[in-house]
Amino acid sequence: MLSVIVEEVMDMLLFYISTVVKSAAPKAYNLDMGYLMKINSHIFGFIEHIVVDGQTATVTGWARNPESSLPANKIYIRNRLGLVIAEVIPSIERPDVAEIYECSTLLMSGWTATVSASQIDSQGMVTAFVIIDGEEHALSGTPSFRKAYPKMFAGFDLNTLIQRGLKVGSNFSMQPDCFIDYSHCWLISIGDNVIFAPRVQIIAHDTSLYIPTMSVKIGLITIGDNVFLGNGVIVLLGVSIGDNCIVGAGSVVTKDIPAGYVAAGNPARVICKTSELVEKNSAIGNSSVFDNSFTIENGIDNEMKKTMIETLKSSGGIGYIKRKLAG
């Protein structure tokens, strides 16, 4: 009975350190966590990080067999519904773990598993466990969760720009080769549920008059909620794009676009209401609508591809895939 109480107390201490001390003082976290890991023989490992990158998510951590002082044979990943979504064998060097336990045989105790992003919610709700002598043992820890974004022109990533002052709402989706003005990113605000297609450029400064005036023109850029910017759209300084807007591919936005409108062209001009475009495209037959299984990330096979092609041929060449915006 006493051993059970001690184990529960140790688990509570580990949880406290992993959620509070880690963020406040990394050095103290490393010291205290290492000490607790070493004295608590019930620690089988940790699930540490979840990074969502497009349609996939990477889950990382380490695991051991306390009885043999060897890495665990296999790690199992469960989603929030309790279903096993991945199995992985430790194969990554973790000198920190080997050092904490003073055991060189734990050097290769690290692991990484790749799963579909659809299995991960916005809180990163997955768990990991090992099976030793037929008994299941959960790995400890609350994994950190973050979303990765494609590298942009000039080599900067979105998280770096956010640290510099760029404002980005929830459920932002950005395709490769976009450019967000890294030298004036704090002047840019992006709302919730915004999608950037490939090669979108957001430019908050203008250096064209630098030689005659020795000055650089700058301006705020505001992009509202539920906005889609098509492939190659350029948004220039001083522009505000309202909520629920769509900007067509190749457009150059030089003036404000009011909420609820579709704009296109160079320079971009309002052409209709967003609601009108939605209504026009909602009159589709069931034969030209595909569910989310007809996608690469969900394992579309050759037979399904053939079905898609034949169905589109019979419905004028245009169809739709019903899918959820990735968070």
Kindly indicate the confidence band of residue 324, based on its pLDDT and cuts at 50, 70 and 90: low
Minimum mean pLDDT among 30-44, 76-90, 131-145: which range?
Answer: 30-44
pLDDT at res. 51: 85
Kindly indicate the confidence band of residue 208, based on its pLDDT and cuts at 50, 70 and 90: very high
Euclidean distance between CA atoms 246 and 252, whole angstroms: 13
How confident is the prediction for the chain on average, in pLDDT? 82
Closest CA to 185 of 159, 167, 206: 167
Contact by Cβ (8 Å): 178, 149 = no
Find where tokens 């009108």 sit: 276
Minimum mean pLDDT among 128-137, 172-181, 274-283, 317-326: which range?
Answer: 317-326
Instruction: Flag whether pLDDT at 74 surpasses 90.
Output: yes
DSSP-based three-state secondary structure for 21: helix
Euclidean distance between CA atoms 130 and 65, whole angstroms: 9
pLDDT at res. 38: 53
pLDDT at res. 20: 41
pLDDT at res. 147: 75
Instruction: Flag whether pLDDT at 171 surpasses 70.
Output: yes
pLDDT at res. 53: 76
Euclidean distance between CA atoms 202 and 219, whole angstroms: 11
Closest CA to 172 of 297, 325, 18: 325
Kindly indicate the confidence band of residue 70, based on its pLDDT and cuts at 50, 70 and 90: very high
More confident residue, 13 or 51: 51
pLDDT at res. 154: 59
Homologous superfamily, domain 43-147: Immunoglobulins (2.60.40.10)
**How many angstroms separate the Cα of 103 from the Cα of each of 39, 68, 69, 70, 107?**
14, 11, 7, 9, 8
Q: Which of 49, 137, 184, 205 is catalytic?
A: 205
More confident residue, 282 or 89: 89
Question: If you count DSSP H runs as helices and E runs as strands, how many of each does the chain have, helices first?
Answer: 8, 27
Tokens of 149: 């974004």
Closest CA to 117 of 52, 195, 173: 52
pLDDT at res. 188: 97
Share of the chain above pLDDT 70, in %: 80
Kindly give the residue spans of alpha helices, DSSP state H, lying in the chain. 2-16, 22-24, 26-39, 95-101, 158-164, 210-213, 274-282, 302-313
Fold of 150-280: UDP N-Acetylglucosamine Acyltransferase; domain 1 (2.160.10)
Give me the amino acid identity at 264.
A
Instruction: Flag whether pLDDT at 228 surpasses 80.
Output: yes
Q: At what angle do helices 2-16 and 26-39 cross, to 10 degrees?
A: 160
Kindly indicate the confidence band of residue 24, based on its pLDDT and cuts at 50, 70 and 90: very low
- Domains of the chain, by residue range, sit at 43-147, 150-280, 284-321
pLDDT per residue as tens digits for the range 230-263:
999 999 999 999 999 999 999 999 999 999 999 9
The highest-confidence range among 22-31, 38-47, 249-258, 275-284, by mean pLDDT, is 249-258
Euclidean distance between CA atoms 184 and 164, whole angstroms: 9
The answer to whether residue 42 is catalytic is no
Instruction: Flag whether pLDDT at 76 surpasses 50.
Output: yes
Q: Which residues contact 31 (CB under 8 A, 6 or more apart)?
A: none
